[in-house]
Amino acid sequence: MEPDQAFLEYAVKALVDHPEAVETTRTIDPMGVLLTLTVHPEDMGKIIGKSGKTAEALRILLRVVGMKGNARVNLKINEPVGGKREQELKTVDQVVEEL
């Protein structure tokens, strides 16, 4: 496991109530390194934080870790299945039916 991915897992597992559900994947693309984070649905609020401050802090720290390895590190947080955002989004057909 690369240092940036290990750091992310260590930091996130310390924040959440379900550390066994934390999953990270690391891919390299033209923009640099992309770390994708998946957590238990109940832990999303802890990872995002108030006004997104915790997620922002994780992204800043990952950039610093990436600088040591001369890489640009980006973080994507996956929305869990059945998450709040998924419930808010409606399909075009649902909107048409309401009209």
Domain ranges for the chain: 3-98
Which pLDDT belongs to residue 59? 94
What CATH number matches the domain at 3-98, 3.30.300.20, 3.30.300.30, 3.40.50.300, 3.40.50.150?
3.30.300.20
pTM over 0.85: no
Which pLDDT belongs to residue 80? 73
Write out residues in the chain with pLDDT < 50, as ranges.
none
Collapsing DSSP to helix, strand or coil, 15 comes out as helix
* Displacement of CA 36 from its chain's centroid (Å): 6
Which pLDDT belongs to residue 91? 65
* Displacement of CA 33 from its chain's centroid (Å): 14
Collapsing DSSP to helix, strand or coil, 21 comes out as helix
Which pLDDT belongs to residue 96? 67
Say how far apart CA 27 and CA 74 lie, in whole Å: 10
Which pLDDT belongs to residue 30? 84
Which pLDDT belongs to residue 26? 94
> To which H or E segment does residue 58 belong?
helix 53-68
